[in-house]
Chains A and B, each alone.
Chain A
Amino acid sequence: MSEHILLPEGSLEKQTTTLNLGPTHPATHGVFQNILELDGERVMKATSTVGYIHRAFEKIAERRALYQITPLTDRLNYCSSPINNMGWHLTCEKLLGVSTPKRVDYLRVIIMELARIADHLICNSIVGVDSGAYSGFLYVMQYRELIYEIYEEVCGSRLTTNIGRIGGFERNFTNAAFEKLEKFLDEKTGYPAQLREFEKLFTRNRIFMERTIGCGPISAERAKNYGFTGPNLRAAGIDYDVRHHNPYSSYEDFDFAIPVGTTGDCYDRFLVRNEEMWQSLSIIKQAYRKVQGFTGAEADVYHADVPAYYLPEKKDVYTKMEALIYHFKIIMGEADIPAGEVYHSVEGANGELGYYLISDGGRTPYRLHFRRPCFIYYQAYPELIQGGMLSDAVITMSSLNLIAGELDA
């Protein structure tokens, strides 16, 4: 950082400019407004605005049956919707007291870790794009396509997945899905090779390092006070990971490391995310091996036995009385949920994604709150960019992985 020349009070050079960074600006991936007070290119003060795509999801959820809330969660962090979906299903299962078979847990882990990779690769490559290197973005983007094809094979959709059901998956994974997974995991032609190339392009790139080291840093103390979680907290040096500290979906069965940084700047966040992708790849491989280990009837299990909330098979609906009743009740949203209060959180790609669900009985939640990590990061954003250059502000925003859909809910 260069030194500032001290000017007398009231001199013309001390005047600042107001600049609207957003709501429509190429750097704000989504709709954020930041009113910056600039001294030349230096950010003296920043004021953030939220609410540009607030869609009142929490309120809408109060009028919906549990399974109808899943599509709402898609639209939080749309870069990794499967994690949101699974987090919501796990919350419901906690309230309903459903325990899922191991195979379902492992399949969920595969999907969640794929989503984490999809999210991290976008975030990291966008940091590259915002620093002016576009090619790396397209390199990894091809492999997000492979991930999306796996989603497609499992649930039929790509971006807003609505994947899985309360109790498990809507159908068993097909062989094609596993083949695509193998193609993605292949050391030579799959994602690992590409990730290595991506790292080669950026990690020791002198210009990239100069741009990101010391850019938008946050201390562990400040990060904790703000309530940071996920990669952004880990980059600051705190090894908090929901998957390890409060395991869900049988994460305790897996062996993985939690990468941490030291300074909490953009470079550390970049490195932490890269390393997490490697860890995710390792988790997926472990999970895939475990899934392959199931034999006989166990190999066909893809959902828990929760007839009141899990749609029966169509052929049963036509032939069995019970199935017809459940089908009707679920579709019409008449499946009553027990009264209670649960909080469940998953390690979202962005941080701890929590669902706080209060039910007073009846068919819909009494109150549902999403703990959205982006909302918390964004509060710290003005502090992070203060004193930096305008270009730092842009990189910091993409490196925090602020997703407007999640921020405004």
Chain B
Amino acid sequence: MYLSTIDISLILEKLILIVVVVSASLVVAMYTTFAERKVAAVLQDRRGPNRAGPFGLLQPLADGLKLFFKEEIIPNLSSKFLFILGPALAMLTACMTSAVIPWGDHIDFFGRNVSLQIADVNIGILYVFGVVSLGVYGIMIGGWASNNKFSLMGGLRAASQIISYELAMGISLIALLMITGTLSLKEMVVQQQGGFWNIVYQPLGFLIFLICSFAECNRTPFDLPEAENELIGGYHTEYSSMKLGFYLFSEYINMFISSVVMSTLFFGGYDIPFFDESVLSPNVAAILGIAALMTKTLIFIFLFMWVRWTIPRFRYDQLMHLGWRILIPLALFNMLATGAGVLYFN
């Protein structure tokens, strides 16, 4: 009897949206690997990949193909099930995060109002956090199942790093939530469209969030879990073929998603600055909105790369020191200050 109340076309619409969003984030991640190599090349006075296709544009495809055809090696003494589960989990959680991101406003599709968000759940940001936290299991399980000391150390580093930095990240977010009063990402964007972007209210919170995102994505200066010079490959030392590809790839998807989340939380999401979208037809506004969000995201992705190819990485104890003794107190202070501010102005 409830079946009739479920709109079949809604299911269809959402399915299509899921396919589009997941494949879009995969493609973006793919070309992020390409961008990474090109950005690195520019920063290092090199040319970068330029052989496969025009300007080397087919390089990521070639890389993927190569990884698929590589021999798959599973160490004899590893725990086989977990060894495969590790990269699968990492990839899965990386792909799942995109579900609650509002990519744009509604579009009008032959009289049908289609929301450009897979699920506007009212706990959106909590969902992102939950799924991202699960991602560390992929790394830990992979590091442990490899039965290699370097992998194990990489896995342990990843676990302790992500747990430590998630705290500061969460606390910095609480301050933001005090202002917005909602956990829904869509709501937050709508609020920012009317007034100032959240970065204006939360500069310190954003800074903490940014630093923690670097740590969450295992990017320099927090790339200790895979510090090549110390741990060879870190948690993916023993991995080969596409399983290695999954690990590397999930890192880029995470980077993409973090950039999107940062743009959404602090930089107005699909909001176009200094411009009133309501004068445009909804379809044009939505497309321009997507473009705005993507531009912001790309700027963040570039920032990730710029930092990676410029500065050295922390040592393990310094990383912990920064996380627990600097970022968490700062985030707590930010939370108190914001709380006081909210109390005073309301």
CB within 8 Å of B: which residues of A? Answer: 1-2, 17, 19, 25-27, 41, 128-135, 138-139, 142, 201, 205, 207-208, 210-211, 389-392, 394
Contacts and interface: CB of A to CB of B under 8 A. Distances in A.
A348 to B, nearest CB: 25
B318 A26 contact: no
Contacts of A41: 153, 316-317
B315 A135 contact: no
Contact of B227 (A2, A128, A132, A207): A132
Interface stretch (B40-48, B95-103, B240-248, B336-344): B40-48
Contact of B311 (A19, A27, A133, A142): A133
Nearest to B233: A26
A390 B230 CA distance: 7
Nearest to A2: B317
A394 B230 contact: yes
Given A135-B43, A138-B46, A392 B149 contact: no
11 contacts: A2-B317, A19-B150, A41-B153, A130-B229, A131-B229, A132-B220, A134-B44, A135-B40, A205-B311, A211-B314, A389-B315
Contacts of B221: 132, 207
B326 to A, nearest CB: 13
A187 B317 CA distance: 41
B98 to A, nearest CB: 29
Given A26-B232, A391-B230, A394-B229, A135 B316 contact: no
Contacts of B149: 17, 19
The 4 closest A-B pairs by CB, nearest first: A132-B313, A131-B312, A133-B312, A132-B312
Contacts of A207: 221, 311-314
B229 to A, nearest CB: 4
A26 B316 CA distance: 19
B309 interface: yes
B229 A132 contact: yes
A27 B44 contact: no
A210 B316 CA distance: 12
B228 interface: yes
Contacts of A27: 229-230
Given A135-B44, A139-B45, A211 B317 contact: no
A391 to B, nearest CB: 5
B122 interface: no
Given A207-B311, A211-B315, A26 B153 contact: no
Interface of B: 40, 43-46, 149-150, 153, 220-221, 223, 227-230, 232, 309-318, 321
A138 B316 contact: no
A25 B148 CA distance: 14
Nearest to B320: A2
Contacts of A131: 229, 312-313
Given A26-B232, A135-B44, A138-B46, A389 B310 contact: no
A205 B312 contact: yes
B307 to A, nearest CB: 11
Given A210-B315, A394-B229, 7 more contacts: A26-B229, A27-B230, A131-B313, A135-B44, A138-B44, A201-B310, A211-B312
A25 B313 contact: no
B312 A391 contact: no
Nearest to A21: B230
A135 B310 contact: yes
Contacts of B314: 207, 210-211
Nearest to A29: B229
Given A41-B153, A132-B312, A205-B311, A210 B230 contact: no
Contacts of B310: 133, 135, 201
A200 to B, nearest CB: 11
A27 B44 CA distance: 22
Contacts of B318: 210-211
Contact of B309 (A17, A134, A392): A134
A205 B311 CA distance: 8
A132 B45 contact: no
Nearest to A133: B312
Contact of A135 (B150, B153, B229, B309): B309
Contacts of A139: 44-45
